[in-house]
Amino acid sequence: MGKGSGFGKVILLNEHFVVYGVPSIVSAIEQATVALVEPFDGRGWIIEDRRPATPGYKEEKLDQQRGSIERVLKAAKIDPSRNPIKIVLEGDLVASSGIGASAASCVAIARALSDEFGLDLSDERVNEIAYEGERAYHGTPSGIDNTAATYGGLIWFVRGTLNVIERIRIRKPVEIVMGNTGMVADTAAAVAGVRERRERYPEKYDKLFKAAEGLARDARRAVEDFDLRELGRLMDENHKLLQGIEVSCKELDFLVELARKHGALGAKLTGGGLGGNMVALTPGKELQERVAKAIEKEGFEVLRTRIGVKT
């Protein structure tokens, strides 16, 4: 039996902007998806998805998941008509929008295939294969999710002909809270909407994109200086920019404001938006718990996790 894993992720700055070459900061989180691959006495491939999930997520993403697995198998040069396989997905990462669930599964499957078939895939090759799988979910993904899922840690990511992937050093891991709206988001539709509006209102969007680039550079300095108050302030500013490109929603805005009200140093949507998750910067167990409980009290699911964990 082959086995592999992929990390969940949180984007601290510049989802959507990253598609257009604006720098972004992403961190793997502690939770991960695990894939198992074993020979199957049948034809082709089958999947058993045991991941914990937001209600409706797995059902809504089923067609995309099937397309993704086909792409991963093709990229890995595995022919299931010759080698029938069963794929099992499990782990402690909740399958939901905005947490890198699809990328984590693509990376986990690629590594499990490598283990089962002796492919000896490098992390770089795993990342490339996972990107191909991500295309079934997101159309033209930036590559940031699969990069975090593959390499872990805290990453400075710039999309380009050759993506810039740089490790960011942080003094110690920092507690965060991720609040789940419970809404399953369509990231491909959100990305397409931004593209359409950017073409329609180029002057407005150019200003927003230029501001996002400045925020990213300031945020990298804040992380490296371990200035968490400044990082939180920049996350707040980034949420305003994401509202400006119309990828937030009332549920995300409510959770962001709730987190700030209860002491979070900063809060913003994370991921594709229009549902999915938000993230609050809550250093220290006490603050993390206070913000988490406030969100849970309103009936939303919460993930208590950390950024900057060594992998």
pLDDT tens digit string along 155-183?
999 999 888 999 999 999 999 999 999 99
151: domain CATH number? 3.30.230.10
pLDDT digits (tens, 9 = 90+) for 13-49: 999 999 999 999 999 999 999 999 999 999 999 999 9
Q: Give me the residue label for tokens 């990213």.
A: 216
Do 181 and 133 lie in one domain? The reply is: no
Is the Cβ–Cβ distance between 141 and 190 less than 8 Å? no
Mean pLDDT within 191-195 = 92
The model's confidence at residue 311, banded by pLDDT at 50, 70 and 90, is low
23 Cβ neighbours under 8 A, 6+ residues apart: 14, 156, 157, 158, 164, 213, 216, 217, 220
Distance CA 84, CA 82 (A): 6
Is the Cβ–Cβ distance between 95 and 52 less than 8 Å? yes
217 Cβ neighbours under 8 A, 6+ residues apart: 23
Distance CA 192, CA 279 (A): 23
Residues in the chain: 311
pLDDT digits (tens, 9 = 90+) for 73-96: 999 999 999 999 999 999 999 998
Do 211 and 163 lie in one domain? The reply is: no
Residue numbers of the domain that contains 53:
2-167
Mapped onto helix, strand or coil, the DSSP state of residue 140 is coil
Percent of the chain with pLDDT over 90: 89
Known catalytic residues are 145
Do 162 and 100 lie in one domain? The reply is: yes
197: domain CATH number? 3.30.70.890
From residue 1, how far is each of 40, 85, 118, 133, 183 by CA, in Å? 11, 10, 11, 21, 35
Q: pTM of the full predicted structure?
A: 0.88
pLDDT higher than threshold 90 for residue 127? yes
Do 153 and 249 lie in one domain? The reply is: no
Do 122 and 35 lie in one domain? The reply is: yes
Task: Tell which of 167, 189, 204 closes a domain.
Answer: 167
Task: Tell which of 167, 183, 210 closes a domain.
Answer: 167
Task: Tell which of 130, 152, 167 closes a domain.
Answer: 167
Q: Given CA atoms 131, 132, 137, 142 in this order, what sign does their dihedral have?
A: positive
pLDDT higher than threshold 90 for residue 301? yes
pLDDT higher than threshold 80 for residue 310? no
Number of domains in the chain: 2
pLDDT higher than threshold 70 for residue 263? yes
